[in-house]
Structure 1
Amino acid sequence: MRRRNVLLIALVVAFVLLVLALRWVGQPSRVAGLILAEASKSLGLEITAAGASEYRLRGTPMLLLRDVVARQPGAPTPLLRAERIQLEVPWATIRAAGDDLTVRRIELDAPQLDIAALQRWLATRPPSETRIPTFTDGLRLVRGRVIGDGWSVDALDIDLPALYPQRSLSAQLRGRFVSGTLAAPFDLEAALTRPAANAGLGLTGSVGVEQAPWSLPMRLTLSGRVHDGDDGLGIDIVRLGAAARYRNGDTELPFVFGLAGPLRVHEGEVRMSPLGFALRGRDAIPSLHARGGFAFGDVLALQLGGLIADWPKAWPELPEPLESSVSALPFRYEYRGRADLSNTSAMQLQRDATRFEGRFRLPEVLTWIDAIDNGTPLPPLAGHLSTPRLEIPGGTLEGVEVDFTPTPGEAMSP
């Protein structure tokens, strides 16, 4: 009789526990909380989901989280926010307890990634073997945003049909790079030989640069090798070629250009040094080649030095003997300021024994180019020119020194 009573009590307790467990499992927020707690512990992050959560166990298990925030403990800036994250994982992956990283599909709505916060977190992680997951039905990201130092990528959409560790992959990327009043919309197709460091990378598609009142649409092709090191993420052996067209009102100037060098993104800053640059233009666009470097974070810093092949025919005619010379024009260019190049640029230019050092603002020079047929023959710049000899109608000048000074309303800051 006592044994029967004990068995009956045990059955009742087990039934009550089962009811309580089912009730607990039936509350998605508690399931999501348990999963996020384990993920937070594993990743060294604080991960929360303030919105209503959902899950499904039939078929392929699915977990949906809303209003997700992930940050380092104590960090003021989250490294990730997202309106919605949906994860579909096969039962085989769940039973494998980490030995199998196969995921059916991941969807992210309005994720926001802070590059500097991400890299600070990555710097705290212990070295471990990199394992690439498998996405059998791919990844979809919509309305994303990546935040750098002084720049962002907005309205980012990524469509990745599938991902396998040892296979090539392709993806579609759309978005809009923004820095101050400058914007650069893009629509690109990307391809990787495999999802790993040192893999071959290819990009092709359309990119535009927009800064009212001008725009610069272009078609580009880029190739390189994926880099992941202590100096940041990036691309090695970059080779970029583009066909572009400068537009401003009725003015339209086509040209092509190329870039080469290593690209790095570190602590929110983008840099490329050493940089090789070549430009092939016509009309008012010169042809040149140069070397230098650039860095872009809270400001844009650019340095170039090289040779301009010849004085563009659309520019004002030079006095003799400069006009008859067939020598290339060595130059140096430096800039530090806003990404739209609207701050003051410094230029050194030489032809034979004639030298010029000056300063100018690119928007003013572009305005001058647009009106070059009807406006003043002198570009809007400040500087100093020296030449041993100039021929002018009616005579010859020797030992010439000329200072260019803008009008008071156009005075340029250093």
Structure 2
Amino acid sequence: MAAADTTAPARRSRKRLWIVLALLLAALIGLRWVSRPSQISWIALAQTGRALGLQISASGASEYRLRGTPMLEVRDLVARVPGSDKPLLRAGRVYLAAPWSTIRAAGSVLDIERIELDAPQLDIGELNRWLATRPPSPGPTRIPRLSRGARVSDGRAIGEGWSVENIGLDFAELDPDKPLRGRVRGRALTAGVAVPFDLAATLHRPTAARGLGLSGAVAVEARDWRLPMRVRAGARLHAGADGLGLDALRLGADARYRSGDTDLPFAYGVAGPLRYRDGELSLAPMGAALRAAADSAVPNLDAGGRFGFGAALGLHWQGRIHAWPQVWPALPPPLGQSKTPLDFQLDYDGKADLSDAVALRAQRDGTSFDGRFRLPQMLAWIDAKDGSPLPPLSGAVSTPKIEISGAALEGVEVQIEDDPPAAAAAPGS
């Protein structure tokens, strides 16, 4: 009887020992599994994906650090909208460092040390698709703090018929209660036109309806001409049902139009609300002013209207040229003697390089013109030393009186037809 009493406790002790050993072994295996960087990254990306409603994976090598400020680095990241075979975001490398207080807070605190993205590629169409699935925010958008800022290198954004390549972004600190200062650069491409830019930016506060300042270098480059500029701009950030953009934009620039031997310096300014929505960039209503030296082929003018850029470039201006440029061919009397400003209306819908036809209506005193021309041909004619006395345009001129070679003609109506470009000779002809 006594032997049976001592055997039962011994069995229970051995059973407990096996349970402890099994739990210890499971803990060691679990610790080994979790200590692998790929498993840490898988857990982090899976949790992030569930929170954002995205499928996120990383096929490259991963690293992490738990001492000091925790850090996670993943490579070859891909994020997709569930059900889509088209990535919303790709990135060669993503680096994130966040303090323990942020990790323990599980999202209630957004203090981050630093974020870095190498070679990210963002699909704007997929981004809009994802945003349409997100529930409305119950309150104002929360802005994270980045104590050591962020860096984006060699980025790319892809839209319908356009892209922005070689995107770079740097800022040293992000704080919702402090001004944000940084630099942004890249190269926008669309329809045979490239727009490289390198701008310093200052944002009064990183939220909507706050002041933004920009300054730096921008250029517009087409096949046959180039327009480098130094720009300065001020505006307020805007986000609403009519799209993203800038309110009260005021932009001024010192520019030079260069094509072959032509080099035309001038200054210009534009103002108005800038919007981006459904693949179109617009500035409407807009005001514009153009200024150049008295001996320049660029006229001094003021205008208002609309600018739109999406599948095509649209420019619709109505304004006034203050004086006929001195280097333009002289008008016959009495038009040439008049000091009256020239009222005009200009309409363009076509290629971004401005190579399509421009519709122009102009009036001075009782004389009016209604016609069409192409800007590259017109600029070449203005710059030519010896050439046709008539500009390369088509249209109709109506004037109550004109003097030619000492003869005065009244009630004149003239139809002008531009000669089409000569056709290339057929091979063997």
Give matches, 1:199-238, under 5 Å.
199-238=210-249
Q: Conserved in 2, the CA contact under 8 Å of 1:218 and 1:244?
A: yes
Poorly superposed stretches of 4+, deviation over 4 Å: none
Once structures 1 and 2 are overlaid, which stretch shifts more, 43-52 or 300-309? 43-52
Distance 1:150 1:276 in 2: 27
Q: Please, which of 122, 126, 133 is the counterpart of residue 135 of structure 2?
A: 126
Give the match for residue 37 of structure 1: 46
- 1:300 and 2:309 aligned: no
Give the match for residue 169 of structure 1: 180
Give matches, 1:195-344, under 5 Å.
195-282=206-293, 283-344=296-357
Q: CA deviation at 1:410?
A: 6.5
Aligned AA for 2:368? R
Give matches, 1:5-16, under 5 Å.
5-16=14-25
Once structures 1 and 2 are overlaid, which stretch shifts more, 73-82 or 153-162? 73-82
Aligned AA for 2:182? A
CA distance 1:71–1:271, shift in 2 (3 Å): farther
Distance 1:364 1:75 in 2: 47
TM-score normalised according to structure 1 size: 0.95
Q: CA deviation at 1:76?
A: 5.0
Q: Please, which of 393, 400, 405 is the counterpart of residue 381 of structure 1?
A: 393
CA distance 1:410–1:102, shift in 2 (3 Å): farther
Q: CA deviation at 1:75?
A: 3.5
Give the match for residue 92 of structure 2: 83
Once structures 1 and 2 are overlaid, which stretch shifts more, 213-222 or 230-239? 213-222
Which structure is higher in RCO with an 8 Å CA cutoff and minimum separation 6? 1
Distance 1:112 1:271 in 2: 25
- 1:156 and 2:167 aligned: yes
Structure 2 gap ranges (5+): 1-9, 424-429
Distance 2:13 2:82 in 1: 53
Task: Render the CA deviation track for 1:340-376: whole Å, top value 9, x for unaligned.
Answer: 11111111111111111111121222222332x2232
Distance 1:410 1:159 in 2: 52
**SS of the residue aligned with 1:93?**
helix
Q: Conserved in 2, the CA contact under 8 Å of 1:148 and 1:297?
A: no
CA distance 1:115–1:209, shift in 2 (3 Å): same
Q: Please, which of 16, 30, 49 is the counterpart of residue 21 of structure 1?
A: 30
**SS of the residue aligned with 2:335?**
coil
**SS of the residue aligned with 2:337?**
coil
Give the match for residue 109 of structure 1: 118
Q: CA deviation at 1:19?
A: 2.1
CA distance 1:352–1:149, shift in 2 (3 Å): farther
Q: Quote the RMSD (CA, aligned, Å).
A: 1.6
Structure 1 gap ranges (5+): none
Aligned residue pair count: 410
Q: Conserved in 2, the CA contact under 8 Å of 1:116 and 1:267?
A: no
Distance 1:370 1:212 in 2: 18
Give the match for residue 192 of structure 2: 181
Aligned AA for 2:270? L
Distance 1:5 1:268 in 2: 72
TM-score normalised according to structure 2 size: 0.92
Q: Conserved in 2, the CA contact under 8 Å of 1:149 and 1:269?
A: no
Rg larger in structure? 2
